Chains A and B, each alone.
Chain A
Amino acid sequence: MKRSNRSGKKIFGWLFFLAAIGLFSGQGIYFVLENKYTVEYFDNRLFYVINLFIIVFMMLSLFLLLTLEKKGKILISNIAAALILLQAGLMVNHSYETKQVISFSPELDHLLVIKEDSDTGQAAYYRTRYGLLALPKEDLPYQIGGDYKVKWLENDIAAVTYEADEQTLHQYIGTYGARDGGTSYSYVASMSRGQWKGKTAEVTNSSEGITIQYKGETEHYTQENMVQFGTLALVLTENNEAKWTIALNENFKSNSNSPEPPTGEITLYKATMEQNNPISLEYSSATD
């Protein structure tokens, strides 16, 4: 009985030991990749979390593999505790230093990553790579001055609404898919031509621009006031501030190669820091 206990301890000891070495090597590879390709962990705190696992696994493996005297056990425990405290402390500190927006899509297959340097206020949009890593894609055009909120309009469209320094409101849309098979770059404004009706709003998209009727008010946006993100979403702006986002739902089909009107739905989402829900719109008739 005692013998099998001992061999079980040894097996676990070696497993922890190998796991610690594996994670340690992983961190080494991360440094190489970071230097060469400027990739980062999608969440910077992952670095500390992995370090914590290394420390714990190493400590456990030492306890399980070696026959230690009391003095030795105390020494190892103290060193491990000091290292754990250091890593945990730095992780908390890092959370303050770098503001990160990390949000999983409803079906958990896409990840929105925006990291902001709190020294400069500069925020950058990241694309995830190989699971844990992310690559900076582009800077957000405005610095995040105050609050922000994330709303997934569809499983592959994330809308980030944020306030910039000058109390102006902006929207940045992360897109992770395409419509109509995604074989070519397409323009949201021309794909969604027509009149669209929802419960509380109406969108008229014609060659002259996009008109939105909402709560008795009518707003008109011309081509110059439209900012497209990917091939899925369009932000309508006025005086360089975001007003609305129009997104193509997953069931949207433009039917652009046939005389039939588009099918499926589009989503209208107001730019506001207050709690609001996207509005679904259905095609009702054609426009010029």
Chain B
Amino acid sequence: MKKIIIGIACIMSIGLLAGTIYFEQSAKLPPPAVQPSVNEQNLQSSPQPEELQPIYEEDPLGYSLQNDQLQITYDRGSSWTEVPLEKEKLFQGEYRGSEQELIPNSYTLNEDRAAFLYTEDNDKNSKRVELLYSLDQGDTWKEAVVQEEYAPLRFRKLDFTSDSFGYVIISSDRTMSQEWTTVYTTSDGGDNWSQTNRPDTTRLIFDGGFVNENVGFLSYGTISPTEPDLYVTQDGGDSWKKSEVLVPEEYKKHFVMAEVPFKEDDHLAILIKQGPSGDYQGGHVKGKFISHDQGRTWEFSKEVDPNETIE
């Protein structure tokens, strides 16, 4: 036993000496990082935040949802403005995405306006639909109530066609293939919102939009649609009529879902796409239709491949 203890003591003494020599040689400071230049001091911080990568709306405008915070940039990410809104409020309702990007069409982001549609709990056990917007690139923010009481959203869309006129289309209360869709418009840039009338249908909304403050459209039918179901208003939402889409016989079973019309020269144009199970020429080709009476009737113009530029 004595020999073992002495043996261990000897080994440890030698180990200590060897370890000390090794430590002395390696104790010089390791270079942890390349020494930053003086100009880079502005980037110094600890702990280093995750660098934000803009999701571009239109270069150089973009936003980021990194670190669970919505932030916007007007200069390709050189500087960021925090949007004073909890991220989860942007995604409440029937949304199954990754929350890495904003819900398409639920916001507006351009040089003149940053606006975000969201919902939050009100004290009546339902949701309040609100808009947070800034007209000075994020320096100041305003909140506007679009609808005081509403059920959790499924479809949501926000857009402005001019400095003053904007619209919100939302839907909720989905049961099977029926739901409630409502439309709101503003004529003062987003401060005040009023609900318009609505078409007499409870099909699921597919898309909608206004081309100006009077003329707007709602397109219904997302589950196995058989023909375009498009409604038009020409008085800012007071009354809605079903649009007449004259689909040529050979295209009738293909072109069934109407997108949002847009202004083109002196008339309106619309693309009507194939349904979820459409397979005509690969399923991507759409029909372009033209209207000369503000969307009341639509005539077939041509087939459009979305990969080509629309003329």
Contacts and interface: CB of A to CB of B under 8 A. Distances in A.
Interface of A: 17, 20-21, 24, 27-28, 31, 34, 38, 44, 47-48, 51, 54-55, 58, 61-62, 65-66, 79, 83, 86-87, 90, 94, 97-98, 115-117, 119-120, 122, 124-125, 136-139, 141-142, 173-175, 183-187, 190, 207, 223-224, 226-231, 237, 240, 256-257, 288
B86 interface: yes
A19 to B, nearest CB: 12
Given A47-B23, A185-B69, 6 more contacts: A28-B15, A55-B16, A119-B28, A125-B46, A136-B33, A141-B41
B26 A34 contact: yes
B46 A229 contact: yes
B84 interface: yes
Interface string B24-61: 10111111111110101110111111100000000000
Contact of A90 (B13, B24, B26, B69): B24
A62 B27 contact: no
Contacts of A124: 29, 32-33
A187 B45 contact: no
Contacts of B47: 137, 175, 230
B305 interface: no
28 contacts: A24-B12, A31-B22, A61-B5, A66-B6, A83-B13, A87-B20, A90-B24, A98-B27, A116-B29, A117-B28, A117-B29, A124-B32, A136-B33, A137-B46, A138-B36, A139-B31, A139-B35, A141-B35, A141-B40, A183-B68, A183-B69, A185-B69, A187-B80, A187-B82, A256-B84, A257-B84, A257-B86, A288-B139
B310 interface: no
Contacts of A27: 19
Nearest to A185: B49
Given A184-B68, A224-B42, A138 B8 contact: no
Nearest to A255: B84
Contacts of A34: 26
A138 B33 contact: yes
B9 interface: yes
A184 B84 CA distance: 12
Nearest to A87: B20
Most A Cβ at <10 Å: residue of B16, B30, B33: B16
B7 to A, nearest CB: 12
B35 A17 contact: no
B32 A31 contact: no
A103 to B, nearest CB: 15
A163 B173 CA distance: 66
Contact-residue bracket for chain B: 35 or more
Contact of A227 (B45, B67, B68): B45
Nearest to B12: A24
Given A24-B15, A186-B82, A139 B33 contact: yes
B44 A141 contact: yes
B82 A190 contact: yes
Nearest to B38: A240
B85 interface: yes
Given A62-B9, A141-B38, A31 B82 contact: no
Interface of B: 2, 5-6, 8-9, 12-13, 15-17, 19-20, 22-24, 26-36, 38, 40-42, 44-50, 67-69, 79-82, 84-86, 139
B33 A185 contact: no
A128 B204 CA distance: 57
Contacts of B46: 125, 137-138, 173-175, 229-230
A77 to B, nearest CB: 13
Contacts of A223: 79
B232 to A, nearest CB: 40
Given A31-B22, A227-B42, A227-B44, A65 B5 contact: yes
B38 A136 contact: no
Contacts of A79: 13
B12 A54 contact: yes
A24 B15 CA distance: 9
Contacts of A119: 28
Contacts of A230: 45-47
A196 to B, nearest CB: 19
A143 B80 CA distance: 31
Contacts of B38: 141-142, 240
A229 B22 CA distance: 36
Nearest to B28: A117
Instruction: Across the A-B interface, give the 10 residue pairs with the lowest CB-CB distance, nearest first.
Output: A136-B32, A184-B69, A117-B29, A185-B49, A184-B67, A141-B41, A124-B32, A185-B67, A139-B35, A229-B45
A223 B5 CA distance: 67
Contacts of B42: 224, 226-227
A66 B41 contact: no
